[in-house]
Amino acid sequence: MAIDIGLRSVIEYIANRPSLLCYAFLTYVTVYFATVILFGRKKGRNPLQHDHRRSPEPFVHDTKLRDAVLKDRFKASKIPAHLDVIIIGSGIGGLGAAALLTRAGKRVLVLEQHDQVGGCCHTFVEKGFEFDTGIHYIGQMHEGSIHRVLLDQLTSGQLRWTKLDDTYDTVAVGGSSTTKWFPMKSGKDEYYNNLINLFPDEKSAILAYKDLVKDASSAFFGIVLLKVLPRLLVKFVLKTGLYSLIFKCYRKRYTSRTLQEVLDGLTDNKELKLVLCYPCGDYGVMPKDVSFILHAILVSHYEKGAFYPVNGTSEIAFHIVQTITEGGGSVLVQAPVTKILCDPKGKAMGVRVATGKKELEVHATCIISDAGVVNTFKHLLPENVAKSSCIYPLIEKVGQSVSFITAFIGVEGSSSDLKLPAANVWLYDTDDINKAVTEYLSVNADDADTADIPFAFISFPSAKDPQWEQKFPGKTSLLVITLAKWEWFEEWKDEAVRHRGDRYEGIKDAFGRKMWQRCVDLYPQLDGKKVYMEVGTPVSNQHYLACPRGEMYGLDQKVVRFTPGVVSKLRPDTDIKGLYLTGQDVLTCGFASSLLVGLICASQILNRNIYSDLLQFRKHILKGSSLSKEANQKKEE
């Protein structure tokens, strides 16, 4: 009896102090890693040992020279000898991992199905206008930030960043004549002070929201830990239920509560709720379905404002590819992988590449897939191997994200003459976006051309790039993106590009016209200035980005994606020997997140914690730069 009470009070004591468990857990982890370090697999080389930044080299203008980097066509003779790693897909997840592995002395081969490198980072030029495809703004890229230090290394200091306007996003609510504008401001405090200015009666709700965003985004670390800690350990904390005490994201239900639930608990003001939900297009899930933690991490991502690569988003791949090739690797295009080859024991050991009519087998010790979970497990792996993995059932469980349509528009006149912002605009027709978008996405394929667009995202790449005028004087590029259903366009998925027939063109036209009208409603100065427009549909997305259903962000990111069972299984080191995953399906969508996954993936392969290498390296760099500043000051004195 006495023992029983004693035990119970101990349990109660611990239950009331979750931090104790955290400490115990951390001690365990430390001991575990110490053991691994002392007795485990040999560590690879540190890819962030030396500072690789070079002084700025001239911008490469010449199309031929650019194409030599970005459009190096697959040939068997270009495969590096003594290959260590093959990477399927050249999105930032693939390129990031490839560059880090190269710097650690590995020989890599990146294979891209499209005719140019970059995935969502690729751009294209049409009728003298350059268009982005899947990068409009990136957060946390200020000087000295972790992301910036990493990218500076991966691009040898050749990629420069520019900050968007202070008002980097504007929410425009209502139809054409009644539009209300809500500017969003960069800066941790400015962001919220501005909201309070816009909604003075809602001050307490906004401050409570601020606290929740801060707390939830700091809890995101738990999600990352579940993907990097040793599998056995993760299994243990999941089986015993300890995870719900150890990890704040689960303890405080930041993963299972939806954004809508959280906002409903804070205020009844519908307009404010819409303004707080506005970036839901950034993860492609409506507020009623998105886990609060995903929203929180996104909001905090742009806390210090938004950034854009100088000379456009193609510069990202352009410079990372050179890091890979300088290190002896190859990044080759028009190289669709059709199979991941496995040995009889189910270990991945190579890939099959389609080269015109022939197919070629290439072998390596590690295979990394940046092609997404659905492609990898439904189309690339042998069926029996795919089905033996714990990841396979997640495809059905999690589902695929929503698809989208983009209008790429060329306008006569410079962005500065037209007074267009270096920013994005988020257009919403009503304050009930859950309802409006659900209704919109339930339209039948036969009526797709008559669907009313309830939401649109507008971006002006030409205004964001400070160097645009030098390259494309007197021209403006503009993108409008809205959601779409794969089923509206599915019947044309196997037809060749530009030969999909009148009905297909008709639907495209209808969307294009509506999207352009939206721009003119908001910016009447654009009226009559459109000289080019091409509309990309879900089947175009499938063609260029190889997303199976034209989806925007790979696997869907509703609440189920953040349940511990799913989180712990979607990790870079899969349960198939020799096969690793990188890119947006592992953690969340977004450039920064996919790059971080690339880093974790390289860490797993090298058996070393590159994140801690990065922190160490950053410390060293920052110390260096403050020292040199001091030295300069002394000189001036």
Ligand X SMILES: *[C@@H]1O[C@H](CO)[C@@H](O)[C@H](O)[C@H]1NC(C)=O
Ligand Y SMILES: Cc1cc2nc3c(=O)[nH]c(=O)nc-3n(C[C@H](O)[C@H](O)[C@H](O)COP(=O)(O)OP(=O)(O)OC[C@H]3O[C@@H](n4cnc5c(N)ncnc54)[C@H](O)[C@@H]3O)c2cc1C
State which amino acid sits at residue 518.
R
Question: Strands 475-484 and 306-309: what pairing?
Answer: unpaired
By CB under 6 A, name the one of 145, 467, 563, 616 that touches ligand X. 467
Helix-helix angle 146-154:591-606, to 10 degrees: 70
The nearest distance, CB 59 to ligand X, in angstroms, is 3
By CB under 6 A, name the one of 44, 47, 89, 550 that touches ligand Y. 89
Nearer to ligand Y, 545 or 596 (CB): 545
Of residues 182-241, those binding ligand Y (CB under 6 A)? none
The nearest distance, CB 571 to ligand Y, in angstroms, is 15
> Are the CB atoms for 301 and 140 separated by under 8 Å?
yes
- In the block, tokens 């991945």 appear at 348
Q: Cα 233 from chain centroid?
A: 28
By CB under 6 A, name the one of 409, 591, 605, 606 that touches ligand Y. 591
Tell me the C-alpha distance between 595 and 93, whole Å: 5
By CB under 6 A, name the one of 133, 300, 311, 542 that touches ligand X. 311
**Residue of 248, 206, 182, 212 lying closest to 25 (CA atoms):** 248
Nearer to ligand X, 59 or 192 (CB): 59
- In the block, tokens 């511990």 appear at 564
Of residues 131-150, those binding ligand Y (CB under 6 A)? 134-138
Nearer to ligand Y, 46 or 102 (CB): 102
State which amino acid sits at residue 314.
S
The nearest distance, CB 60 to ligand X, in angstroms, is 9
Chosen from ligand X, ligand Y, none, partner binding at 568 (C-beta under 5 to 8 Å by type)? none
196-204 LR contacts (CB < 8 Å, sep 24+): 198/275, 199/269, 199/271, 199/272, 199/275, 201/269, 202/267, 202/269, 202/272
421 binds ligand Y (CB under 6 A): no
Chosen from ligand Y, ligand X, none, partner binding at 134 (C-beta under 5 to 8 Å by type)? ligand Y
Nearer to ligand X, 470 or 628 (CB): 470
108 binds ligand Y (CB under 6 A): no
Applying CB under 6 A, the site for ligand X has a residue count of 7
Q: Within 13 A of 478's CA, how many CA atoms are on the CB side? A: 31
Tell me the C-alpha distance between 165 and 160, whole Å: 16
91 binds ligand Y (CB under 6 A): yes
Tell me the C-alpha distance between 620 and 210, whole Å: 33
Of residues 382-411, those binding ligand Y (CB under 6 A)? 404
Chosen from ligand Y, ligand X, none, partner binding at 471 (C-beta under 5 to 8 Å by type)? ligand X
The nearest distance, CB 132 to ligand Y, in angstroms, is 8
Tokens of 112: 């891209």
Question: What's phi and psi for 352, nearest 5 deg?
Answer: -110, 130
List Cβ neighbours of 474 (8 Å cut-off, separation of 6 or more). 412, 413, 414
Chosen from ligand X, ligand Y, none, partner binding at 160 (C-beta under 5 to 8 Å by type)? ligand X
For ligand Y, the binding residues (CB under 6 A) are 88-94, 111-114, 119-120, 134-138, 336-337, 370-371, 375, 404, 481, 545-546, 552-553, 583-584, 589-592, 594
Residue ranges in contact with ligand X by CB under 6 A: 59, 160, 310-311, 467, 470-471
